[in-house]
A and B are shown apart, each in its own frame.
Chain A
Amino acid sequence: MIPVKRTGRSDPVARAGTRQSLPTACRVAVDLLPLMAAGAAAELEVEQVRRHAADCPACRARLGHVVSLIQAIEADAAELRGLPSGAISGAATRLGARLREGLAAQERRRGRRSLVLTLGPVVLVYLTALFTLIARFSRPSPWTLVAAGVYVVGVLVTAPVLLVSRRPAGTEE
């Protein structure tokens, strides 16, 4: 990809700015020509250019060039857009199927995520209670609580990872 950047005066883009040397009427017309050809000029502006171009051969030529350029772009656009209806409906069927698959995969991912978010706190509470009881009724040892903490954190970290990565996204039936 060519990086877009402004270059020096030798660049054709920079050279296009020679309008300063034109008479005022031509300068106005030059400014309006692209808009006019693109159908984005106001009626008054179109009329202004038309009147000026009638008396100015140079601006008539400029107008012709801009119109030709716009016509070339429009022809290219029409060619790209003008797909046979069969091709469009075929693409719609194909893309429609892929979209359904994508939406279903997203739905499944959402379901798994909400399951983890719902069960996670419940599991945490039960495990904490369980290990508190173990620590309370077994021989008191600080290592019991440490082991409990490690176990709880391990479950909470690995369970979501296992649930989410069990089936890679977009490969489901």
Chain B
Amino acid sequence: MASAQAGDRQALETLVERHYAALRATLIRYGGARPDEVEDLLQETFLRALTAMGRFDNRGHLRAWLFRIALNLTRDARKRGRRVFTAFDVAALADVPDFAADPERTVLGRLDGETLQAALARLPESHREVLVLRFYADLPVEEVARIMGCPQGTVKSRIHYGVRKLRGLLSVEAGGGVRAASKNRE
């Protein structure tokens, strides 16, 4: 990391290569950044990490630190209304084939990225953060807790409620819930 900070080409590329895929997946599903727009956000994340190296004193948690920066940047960008964030249309969920016809049997097998993106976007921020970090960044609960700055129990609780809400949004049990969600928006 020190060589990367000094501008060493090889060190920078290794750093990016090591964290690129997980950070990219996280930013896409957490903030809704389009794949072609996510690179600006990644550049900002790495740049901020490299320039603030003085404040980072625990090498073992570098990944957690990078993810924290990325999430903060994403949140800030959303507050500023930057264009990298697309608007999610929950009504589009109703177009998923077989959603209303046989929700319990087939919906989950047919969930695609856009559907999940739309459902994730409807979750409270804290729930979305833990779900995205746990699944899209593929981080263990312990590391998610470190990134979020909260106890592991809180992370587990958020996973629990996040999955439950996601399931509710996708109407696995009740069926037709997406329609209800769409109507609520109208």
On A, residues with C-beta under 8 Å from B are 1-2, 4, 7-8, 10-16, 31, 33-35, 37-38, 40-41, 61-62, 65-66, 68-74, 76-77, 79-83, 88-89, 91-96, 98-100, 102-104, 106
Dominant SS at the A interface?
A: helix
25 A-B pairs (CB sep. < 8 Å): A1-B121, A2-B87, A2-B88, A8-B184, A10-B183, A12-B170, A12-B181, A14-B168, A15-B177, A16-B164, A34-B159, A40-B134, A40-B141, A41-B156, A61-B104, A68-B108, A72-B108, A74-B135, A77-B138, A81-B22, A81-B24, A82-B21, A83-B24, A88-B21, A100-B9
Given A12-B174, A15-B174, A76-B112, CB of A70 within 8 Å of CB of B163: yes
> CA–CA, A14 to B28, complex, Å?
27
Residues on B with C-beta less than 8 A from A106 are 47, 51
On B, residues with C-beta under 8 Å from A are 4-5, 7, 9, 12-14, 16-17, 20-22, 24-25, 28-29, 32, 39, 42-43, 46-47, 50-51, 78, 85, 87-88, 90, 104, 108-109, 111-113, 116, 121-125, 131, 134-136, 138, 141, 155-156, 159-174, 177-178, 180-181, 183-185
Instruction: Say whether B116 contacts A72, CB under 8 Å.
Output: yes
Shortest beta-carbon distance, A96 to chain B, in Å? Answer: 4
Instruction: Say whether B184 contacts A7, CB under 8 Å.
Output: yes
Residues on A with C-beta less than 8 A from B116 are 72-73, 76
Instruction: Say whether B50 contacts A103, CB under 8 Å.
Output: yes
Going nearest first, the 8 A-B pairs with the smallest beta carbon separation are: A16-B168, A12-B177, A34-B163, A68-B108, A80-B25, A72-B111, A92-B17, A96-B13
Residues on B with C-beta less than 8 A from A94 are 39
Instruction: Say whether B22 contacts A102, CB under 8 Å.
Output: no
> CA–CA, A93 to B135, complex, Å?
27
Residues on A with C-beta less than 8 A from B21 are 80-83, 88
